[in-house]
Amino acid sequence: MNTETLRAASDLLVRHWQNGTVLDALPTGMRPNTREEGYAIQAQIEALSNQPLWGWKIAATSLAGQKHIGIDGPIAGRLLKEMVLQEEEVVPFGANRMRVAEAEFAFKMGRDLPPRASPYSRDEVMDAVADLYLGLEFPDSRYADFAEVGGPQLIADNACAHLFVIGPKAPDIWREIDLSEHRIVGKTSDWILREGIGSNVLGDPRIALTWLANELSAIGVTLSAGQSVTTGTCLVPMEIQQGDKVSADFGVLGQVHARLSDR
């Protein structure tokens, strides 16, 4: 794909994202056939922001999540600064069609992990982490049937990234905790209650973060100091409605809250 085609594909997806509309699939001439082409289209969205890239999200880190969007492994997406909200901000509901909230661990990087030939180990990746935060993701897709378009097109669609609420920084004891065994409880004001565990995220949120570092390395992208990575939902996504209050309780690590707009 040449630069003009990459930009055209990205512009089409962005237009649907901004308008709250959907398409069946990217037109044949601009449809990615590989993960690499999907990421090349995705990369174009960085031009939408005049701020440094805030970070990354990982989608489909569980078998249920992979089945839900019709792929056989995780995918990564970019989080622009404009997609990230603080707890005290109202989350726009708008035309969101997925209508779910996801409780997630978000690691903030303290050191660059640049592309290299050999894979990064989990210890190397965790040594580059500065802090752990708690978050709530509100994903969405620009496709009418996101389970049918396949991995490359979902990657081009920024791995269903939409909005993300960043909560408090976890206390430093998180480094001493087995995050794979850590339990999380999510609630909405509609009395939906879900319980989850860190192992729902590729077996361990730290494994998911390592996957992301190596996924980016393989496509020649640095996971940079200052960026954050939200590693995927720890529990079955919670159905949401306009006006809902959503929370996730991470026990000794703290809680994160969000409030959705009523339209």
> How much is the pTM?
0.97
Rounded to whole angstroms, the Cα distance separating 98 from 147 reads 12
Give the Å distances, CA to CA, from 202 to 92, 184, 261: 29, 16, 32
> Would you state the pLDDT for residue 187?
97
Rounded to whole angstroms, the Cα distance separating 30 from 241 reads 34
pLDDT tens digits along 223-252: 999 999 999 999 999 999 999 999 999 999
Crossing angle of helices 3-19 and 35-42, rounded to 10°: 70
- Specify the CATH number of the domain 3-260: 3.90.850.10
> Would you state the pLDDT for residue 60?
95
What does the block give as tokens for 110?
Answer: 């303290």
- Strands 90-91 and 255-260, bridge-based pairing: parallel
Rounded to whole angstroms, the Cα distance separating 201 from 103 reads 11
> Would you state the pLDDT for residue 93?
98
pLDDT of residue 64 exceeding 90: no
